Each structure stands twice: as C-alpha cells, then as structure tokens.
Chain A
C-alpha cells in the first residue's frame, strides 16, 4: 500500500528533484555528443581539405615525344660510354626541343617564342630516359617514345586550377578573311554573341584597374586570340595551327579573366598545350614520382623518396636508442628501485622532461651532438638521437604505467614458487606488460616521426636531392620536407605539399594500426 502510494504520487519536492536530476543527465549526455561531433567535424574538415588538394597531385600530365635517338646527339664521338650517355641531359633535351619545334613551326627563330616553348619541359625531366638508354645501348639510333612531365604551371592549367577560364561555344563561322600580319577576320551570324555575354559577366567580376580579359578561340589543334569582338565578327591573331580549321564546326572560345602579363603561362603556351592535348600526346597519369623521386626545385619532378628514407633512418636510430633506454629505465624504476627521495626526484624530472617543448631538444642536440661531439650536421644519426632524447621520457612513462597495471598477484605467485626478483620481472611481469610497453613506444615513435622543430635546429632542413645511404649522410625527413615545400611560393607546390602530408599521415596511421594490432594480439586477461 505504501509502496503504491509512493509510486503514484511522489511528493512535490522529490518530483522536482527527480526532474532536475534527469535534466542534468540529459544535458550531460548532449554535451558529450556535441564534443564528439565537434572533434569529428574538425577531423573531417582537415582530411577533406588536405585530401582534396592532394588528389590533384596524385596525377599529373606527361607529354609523349616521338624521337629518334640520333647517335650524333646523344652519344657523340668520345662521349659514348654509358656514363656519358646517362649524363648527356643536354643532348636528350635538344631532341625533345627539336620535336616541339617541328610540331609548332610558327616558333621559328623567334627568341621569345623559343623560350616559351622550352618551358614545356625542364631539362632534368629527360634524365630517366637518359639513364634508361645508358642501360640499353642498343636503343641508340632507334625511334622511341620519350615521356616527360609537363611544366607544372601548364599541368595546373590542364587540371583547371592554374588559370581561371570560362569555356563557351562560338557560333558557326561563315567567312574567314585574311588580314594583315597573320590576322584573320572571322564572321558569322551572331557567332560571338555568347562570347560577348560572357565578357560582360567577366568585366563585372574583375577589378577596374585590371587589363582586358583574353579571349582564345580554338578549333582542333588550332588556336587564335580574338580582338575587336562584336556579335557577328572578330579579328583573330592565329597563335598556332591553320586558319582553315575554324571553318569547320563550332570553335570553342575561352575567356580568361586575367591578362597575359599577370599569368605564369602565356596565351601561346596555352594554345600549344591545347594543341598537344588535341593531338593526344598528353596523358594524365598517376604520379608515382612522388614516391620514387627526390626533392627538386621543379615541382613536376619533386618527390619525397629522400625524405621518406631519411625519416626511416632517423626512426631507426630513435628506436634503437629510445626504446632500450626507456624500457630498461622503466623496468628498473618500477620493479627494482627503492622508493625514496632520489627516485622520486628522478620520477618528477622524467615527467618534466616529457613536457619540455621539442625545439629545446633541438637546441640541446645542436650543442651536444654537433658542437661538442662533432657529429655531422643534417644527418639522420643526429636527428635520431635528438628525437630519442625527446621520445624516451614518453616511453618510460608509458612503460611504467603498463608495468603498474600488471596485478601484484602475478608477482607474488612467481616469488612464492621461488623465482628471483629478476626472474619474476622478466618471466612474468614484462611479458604481461609488453603490449602496453610497445604501445607507448610506438606512439612515442609516431610523435617523433611527425616532429619538425628540433630537426630544423640541427640542419635537417637543407635541400637534399639524393637518397641518403647511411645515417651519417645529409638527409631530411618528411615533416621537414612538408615545411620546406609549404614555404615555396609557386601555386603547384600546394597540392604537392598536401600529397606529402597524406603520405606522412599514412605512415602514422600504419604505426597506430600496428599498435591496435599488437594490443589485440597480445593483450591477455588475468
């Protein structure tokens, strides 16, 4: 009876109290959910922004050149050994340039135009071909297809990121009259009405002091620049190809808001790249060079191999130094050391060491290893030692936590059957704590892998074009490479930087995955 009464009619005060309590529960649950969503949202934004940038760097455009490996050019008398061939960048480059000059005869002897066409390929881009030919001397004299990456600005243009343009179809051109100095007069009923409308929009969008927008008109492999446009006619300066091409079908007009002087690529280069694309000589291919090339001053040739190898060497040194020191120190402090003022002092200072800003370790490393011990600058050896200094307090703390988590009953069980303390620790306690110890060690290493600041101070920020072969070679590491690339002004470094970040994150994910795997595999219940 009383129970029923209490259930159906709680007193006003207790009902109010209950309500408040439920509201507090409810609020707390939603605070938690909000926090999780904020964190997830931040992560998603990060991955999406970097990822979308990186996707554009995952592929790039390469141009195919059908060339004859003329022995006189690539292996002249007295310089025909494989070494000479592999070093004959100039010879291979001239083959490529001559190929471009024949494709676009309008270049002729004009120095300005010659320079513009030579921008298509950097000299060093032919190096892989030179090395291949050096390995297969039978290719000398043969016809081969040489592929070389396209200049980074043009690559960006083809990806639609470099220069903002608007594509519009023009009308059918009924008349093409030849004018003075390679200009033509094009006309057709309302052929350029769409272009005029497009120009009007472009003019509204642009700042007043900017120059006139450019209008390019292409048909097939031919492209010209339009001036004096009205709805029915326009004057065209032919940039490449033949005027007759414009008589067929409906040419495409491109309105480029920024004038030529403000761009890194000229109208003519755009015309040529469009022509090459129309000829089917440009392919968009996966950019494996990001993993197989080393750093370069040319974005289209740059890759992270040297930095990846540098990072691995550095991590090797860090692991070899930090893990034994950290784990042994933790085992000693946790299992053997007496509890007194000295050990307490050491303990506090290890915790402090873990909280020291990483750049301070860089200063210490520069002073101790480079200045005092005379180790080489910019070397993975020094980098690894510096990062080991930074990592081992973390390893100690994690390992001690793991050792502490081993139940004392295991220790007393082992001691009671007559195991010595050392046997107890190494036969029972450490194996049980191993997953935790490894987790701590790997997480510490992952942190070291992403560290930039201390390495700047020991000179690992230098430009390194060669893959380091030993821990004492000059080297850089992934995060420092990202830092260097992010400092470059050119637009095409941006997607490359993002791609490198994704590679670094992949390494970190692999390490964290390893932690999860080890935990799952070796975690034991007791």
Chain B
C-alpha cells in the first residue's frame, strides 16, 4: 500500500526542496485499531506519512479520520473508554508504548483544531505558553524571538506585532486559527496535525490558511483532515480515503482525484455519497 517513494506528480515544479535529505516516512502506522468501549472505530489501518509533505485524510462524516488523526499525538488518551491498538512508529519508536510520555510526544506532534481555540490570554502568552512549559526559552529575549519567529511562520506577525498584549480571542476567526498554528509551531514540532482547520472559516481566511499550509510543508510533516475535497486536492500531496473506519485507498493526491482505483473512492469524490 505504501507509495511514498517518488515525488507527487502535481508538486513537481513547486517543491524542489522536498524529498531531499530525509524523504523517508516520518510516521509509520501498523495495524491501528481504535475502540470506543466495545465499538471498533478504526479497523486495522496501516499507512505512513512522509516528511515534508501534506497528507490529507478524507471521507464522509463518522468514517474515523479524526479519530485516526488523534492517535498520532495520543489525544485519544484523554477520552475515556477509548483504546488504541497497533504500532505507530516515529523515528523507530512506538509512540503507543506505555513508556512514552504523551506530554513529550505532543511537543513533537503539534495539533490544530477545527474551531480556533486560542487561550483566553494575550497573543504573546498564547505563543509563549508552550515554550515556557517545555523550557525552550532562556530568558525573555529568547522567548520574544520564538514568539516572533512562530508568528512570522504562521504569517500573522505583520498583523499583530503592535498588539501582542491584546487577547488572542480579540482576533478574527482566520487570525485566531493562524494564531493556533503559530502556537503549535512554537514548541518546534516535527509533525503538525490539522483537524478540519478551515471548516469554521470564510473562503478568504481559508485561502490564507491553505497558503500557509503550503509554506509549512517545507519544514514539517503535515496531516490534515478535511471535508472539502477541493481543499484536499489543493493542499495535499497524498490523500487517504477512509470509509466506515477502514482505509479504502491511499495514494498521490493527483491519482486519487483523477484516477481512483476503488469504486467507493470514486463514488465519494464524484459526490455520489457522503
């Protein structure tokens, strides 16, 4: 199933950086099964996520794509009755191992949520919170630098540099979502998970976020769950189609959208269900 060798066709000219030094899989999932109590939400999914590329998870509502995404930083741990089985290898280490500290894991795997959820604190504190608790900054200047760098990468610096003390919740929806992305970047993750990051935003803010995702792809392994197939086609290099807890098809985005191998994928993409 794994097709991570070779450059995604549609990205040929735009992404010369990609697949250079470490083009191997950043995360490798083997036989992931997720149970809510007795109910099985994910059936033996195996797939891998390449570094410095965007992988989109698509599928109808309730197909398990968000649940699967949340396995990757063990956010499912916080849900009672939720049990994850199988191996998720990151740098050769199984993150589902009980010895792995989910707190450390989450500093390596950042996450952005469906609804922008900045902390009800200042813009500065929103970004600085992560570095502070992880002890990433030595002193105030260092912290200032991290905040500025994170906001610049999230494309928000120019808009907020004069009002870092304003509450994060005072920003517009799109700005809030970029603030959340900056917050995730600030702890220097290797992977960024995005759970429908644009579903609460208007088209202009969505376009801005999509641009940003495209820029971030140069540095991070990005996994994005989306309901919008156009979005998946626009931002991702690889796409995985989920249905009823099963991974139906995984491939280059181009191939999935133009020439799906599976009938169900085709039906979904052409809008026959979902």
Task: Provide the residues of chain B in CB contact with A208, threshold 8 Å.
Answer: none
Within B78-116, the residues touching A (CB, 8 Å) are 78, 80, 103-104, 106-107, 110-113, 115
A413, B118: Cα distance in complex, Å: 7
CB interface residues, B 146-198, toward A, < 8 Å: 169, 180, 183-184, 186-187
Q: Are B104 and A409 in contact (CB under 8 A)?
A: no
In the complex, residue of chain B having the shortest beta-carbon distance to the beta carbon of A525: B169
Give B116-140 interface residues, CB cut-off 8 Å to A. 117-120, 129-130, 133-134
Chain A residues with Cβ below 8 Å from B186 are 417
Complex partner residue of B134 from A414, A415, A416, A418, CB under 8 angstroms: A418
Interface of B is mostly: helix
| B118 contact set on A, CB distance < 8 A | 413
Contact partner of B80 (CB less than 8 A), chosen from A338, A411, A412, A524, is A338
Bound form: Cα–Cα A411–B79 in Å: 12
Q: B120 and A432: CB pair below 8 A?
A: yes
Closest-CB distance, B176 to chain A (whole angstroms): 11
In the assembled complex, which residues on chain A have CB atoms less than 8 Å from the CB atom of B115?
Answer: 409
Instruction: Take A338-B80, A427-B129 as given contacts and tell me if A416 and B110 are in contact as well, using a CB distance cutoff of 8 Å.
Output: yes
Q: Is the CB of B106 within 8 A of A412?
A: no
A338 CA / B184 CA spacing, docked (Å): 29
- Indicate the size class of the contact surface on chain A: 20 to 34
Min C-beta distance of B30 to chain A, whole Å: 24
Cβ A418 vs Cβ B180 within 8 A: no
Whether A409 touches B103, Cβ cut-off 8 Å, given contacts A418-B133, A524-B120, is no
Min CB–CB distance A425 → chain B (angstroms): 12
Which B residues touch A432, using CB under 8 A?
Answer: 120
Interface SS of chain A: helix
Chain B: how many interface residues by the 8 Å CB criterion? 27
Q: When the two chains form their complex, are residues B107 and A417 in contact, meaning their CB atoms are under 8 A apart? A: yes
| A418 engages B103 (CB within 8 Å) | yes
Contact of B106 among A339, A409, A415, A428 (CB under 8 A): A415
- Judge whether B75 is part of the interface by a CB distance below 8 angstroms: yes
List residues 410-456 of chain A with CB under 8 A from any CB of chain B. Answer: 410-420, 423, 427-428, 432
Bound: A192/B169 CA distance, A = 85
Chain B residues in contact with chain A, CB under 8 A? 73, 75, 78, 80, 103-104, 106-107, 110-113, 115, 117-120, 129-130, 133-134, 169, 180, 183-184, 186-187
Contact sample, A vs B, 7 pairs, CB 8 Å cutoff: A410-B120, A413-B113, A415-B78, A416-B75, A416-B106, A419-B103, A432-B120
Q: A407-B117, A428-B119, A526-B120 are in contact. List 14 more A-B contacts (CB 8 A).
A: A409-B113, A409-B117, A410-B117, A411-B78, A413-B180, A415-B106, A416-B113, A417-B183, A417-B184, A417-B187, A418-B103, A418-B106, A432-B120, A526-B169
